[in-house]
Amino acid sequence: MWGDVTAHDVQETGTDRALPRSFVLTIAAGTVLQALNASTMAVALVDIRQQFHAGAAASWLISGLYLATAIGSPTAGRLADRIGARRVFTTSLVLTVLSSLLAPLAPDLGWLIALRILLGLGTCAAFPAGVAMLRAEADRRGTALPAGALSALAIGGQVMIAFGPVVGGLLVSWQGWQSIFLINVPLGLAVGLAAWRHLPADPPRPPTSTTAVLRGLDLPGAALFTGCIAVLMLFLLSLAEQPRWWLLGPLAVLVAAFTTWELRVPDPFADVRMLARNRPLTGTYLRTALTYVAFYTVFYGYPMWLQNARGLSADQAGLVVLPIALLAMASVAVAGRVIRRRGHRPVLLVGSVALLAGGFGLTFLHSASDLVPLLGVAALLGLPNGFNNIGNQAALYQQADAADAGMASGLYRTSQYVGANIAAAVIELGFAGPAADAGLHRLGTVVAVISAVLLAGALRERLATGRRAGGAFPTQKS
């Protein structure tokens, strides 16, 4: 999920010269902080709810970080191009350490959510700034960017997602939920020291006014997009208690204003024209968002049920969900080989079928279930993540025009985090209170329905491609 890498990112040549290991590892260490803070919350949310006596509002601890990431990632990338990647990278570490120091002191849930959003802005900026530095250093050396450099970022993110719930569970059981924030302080300072020693200074740039820099970021478009997602989340979360139907009016106004604005500006936050003219690409974004709704519904909802209904401790719940990430890591390698031989469509078919089976598996679990079925369902749910993730990436780079590759990549990551935000509301609606068996079964049903929609779409695309090819399904990626 984090640190997505594709063949378009890397061009290997026989003359590649490896980038300095300390340089690459410093950047990788900075980028994994986002994955760490996303995954540790999966096992800390129950304790936070209890301390602040919070209901549905606690879901903003999940959606706030992902909303900040959806906005902050493309914005940080543009800032790196304009004011310097190293400057953006180190600033991200400052924001991470500052917000992590203040979070344990939050007097109420509102302050904690605000600091979690600040943490999301800090951790998300390291990836686009890091990739910019990798590319700049490769260009300076006159070589294509080695695959190993970007692989280090991807592997680091996947490993952190795998072990984040385990680490978070141990921290919460040992020192309480505050420790999942405080762990960022020594880590951030260590990465900052490494950045000071191993990252080259930004090259001199022509003087640029602050106004010119801000104008190139399309901050009004980003603000309108934030408003759209925030109001949508408020509406969805209200459905669990007292529906606020009147929010649909402001939501429609914000969507219209966002679309109108993006059609007017020369460098938009989201290129609406590109989405309109490239329907297959737009379909990939929608499929990606749905995939991540299902994934994060499981990734956060399952540990909550394990702790509340099954009675496991935070560290035990972290170990039970470990197979989700481990199987996702293993399935990426298998899916990659299938894509090279048969394209992305068979991969998406397998991912959708596995997700459907995993969703049904959740509906058969109950609070007295043995450990074996708990682990088995977790493993089953991990399998589709790798297939769907790499399959959607392959579809993206097949469908995006070369001139739109940068914008298309940014919107792909945004669609992931939009799905993560919606998942937070789905969890609240599914449990409708304490995480009990009935709520888990509702979440499983939602995941199954989403996977059925994804499966139908994958079958339709495959059949349509087969008809265009004269009735024979393609065996190579087009």
Q: Which of 392, 424, 443, 408 is nearest to 1 (CA)?
A: 392
Winning range, highest mean pLDDT, from 33-47, 262-276, 327-341: 33-47
Q: Does domain 17-218 correspond to CATH entry 1.20.1250.20?
A: yes
What are the residue ranges of helices labelled H in 53-104? Answer: 60-83, 85-102
- Listed residue (394, 382, 280) closest to 338, CA to CA: 394
Token code pair at residue 349: 């078919």
Of 5-9, 106-110, 282-286, give the lowest mean pLDDT range: 5-9
Cβ-count burial 136-172 (b if 16+ within 10 Å, e if not): bbbeeeebbbbeebbbbbbbbbbebbbbbbbbbbbbb
Residue 241's H or E segment, with its range, is: none
Of residues 385, 358, 362, the one with CA closest to residue 443: 362
67, 417 contact by CB (below 8 A): yes
Section 407-427 average pLDDT? 79
- What tens digit of pLDDT does each residue of 97-147 get? 999 999 999 999 999 999 999 999 999 888 888 878 887 887 777 776 565
- Please report the pLDDT score of residue 242 as a whole number: 81
Tokens for 313, please give them: 């401790």
Identify whether the C-beta of residue 87 lies closer than 8 Å to the C-beta of residue 202. Answer: yes
| Rounded Cα gap, residues 331 and 343, in angstroms | 16
Contact (Cβ atoms closer than 8 angstroms) between residue 428 and residue 370: no
The tokens for 166 are 């385990």
Phi, psi of 319 (to 5 degrees): -70, -35
| Closest to 111 in 3D by CA, of 101, 103, 119 | 103
- Residue type, position 392, single letter: N
Look up the pTM and report it.
0.75
Confidence of residue 154 (pLDDT cuts 50, 70, 90): low
pLDDT at 96: 96
Please state, rounded to an integer, the average pLDDT across all residues of the chain.
82
**Tokens 């990606």 sit at which residue?**
288
pLDDT at 181 over 90: yes
- The packing angle between helices 147-175 and 322-342, to 10°, is 160
CA dist 185 and 166 (Å) reads 19
Cα–Cα distance between 324 and 117 in angstroms, integer?
26
Average pLDDT of span 59-77: 83
d(CA 407, CA 348): 23
Domain 268-464 has CATH 1.20.1250.20: yes
Q: Which residue has the higher pLDDT, 59 or 311?
A: 311
SS3 449: helix
How many Å apart are CA 18 and CA 146, to the nearest integer?
7
Predicted local distance difference test score (pLDDT) of residue 6: 42
- pLDDT band of residue 180 (cuts 50, 70, 90) is very high
Tell me the per-residue pLDDT of 285-309, one tens digit each, with 9 for 90 and over.
899 899 989 988 998 899 999 998 8
pLDDT, residue 118, reads: 95
Domain ranges in the chain with CATH number 1.20.1250.20? 17-218, 268-464
In the chain, the largest separation of any two C-alpha atoms, in whole Å, equals 66
Q: Cα(171)–Cα(167) distance, rounded to whole angstroms?
A: 6
Using alpha carbons, select from 301, 325, 320, 342 the residue that is nearest to residue 424. Answer: 301
For residue 1, what pLDDT is reported?
41
CA distance 123 to 290: 24
Average pLDDT over residues 167-193: 93
Give the pLDDT mean for 71-86.
82
Express each pLDDT in 358-410 by its tens digit: 999 999 999 999 999 999 999 888 888 778 877 887 787 677 765 555 556 66
Residue 213 has a pLDDT of 65
Q: What is the pLDDT of residue 95?
A: 95
- Phi/psi region, residue 176 (left: phi>0; alpha: psi -120 to 50; beta: rest), is left
Task: Provide the terminal-to-terminal Cα distance of the chain, rounded to the nearest Å.
Answer: 24
Cα(461)–Cα(239) distance, integer angstroms = 34
Percent of the chain with pLDDT over 90: 29
Question: What values do phi and psi take at 60, rounded to 5?
Answer: -65, -20
